[in-house]
Amino acid sequence: MIASDRSSIDRIISRNSAVNWPPRSCYSPPLDFFLRSRVKSLVYSNKPQTVDDLKANVVRVINEIRPDFCARVITNLVFRTHSTNRNHGGYLK
């Protein structure tokens, strides 16, 4: 699908884009891939029936994200990065 608003003309919004990023790519910030799925699961948890319900859920869920939660995500990223380095890029348990 090609975005239709003026600010993003010719930008592709698709899972099958020209760049095939691997899952959990180092190019995908942890807050991006982790929070996206977390927010999505919380937004749809009560199965909104209208667009207004969906919008209200998005606003509510985003407003409930606390800075300490984001800090824990980043702390976990640092831990995993150090673990990966210690294992020379090998498998992490």
State pLDDT tens for residues 50-69.
999 999 999 999 999 898 98
Closest CA to 62 of 45, 32, 39: 39
State pLDDT tens for residues 1-20.
344 444 544 555 555 656 55
Taking the C-alpha atoms of residue 53 and residue 50, their distance in angstroms, rounded to an integer, is: 5
What is the model's pTM?
A: 0.52
Once rounded to an integer, what is the mean pLDDT over residues 76-86?
Answer: 82
pLDDT of residue 1: 39
In the structure, how many helices (H) and strands (E) does the chain have? 3, 0
Inter-helix orientation angle 67-86/30-43, to 10°: 130
State pLDDT tens for residues 23-55.
555 555 656 667 788 889 999 999 999 999 999
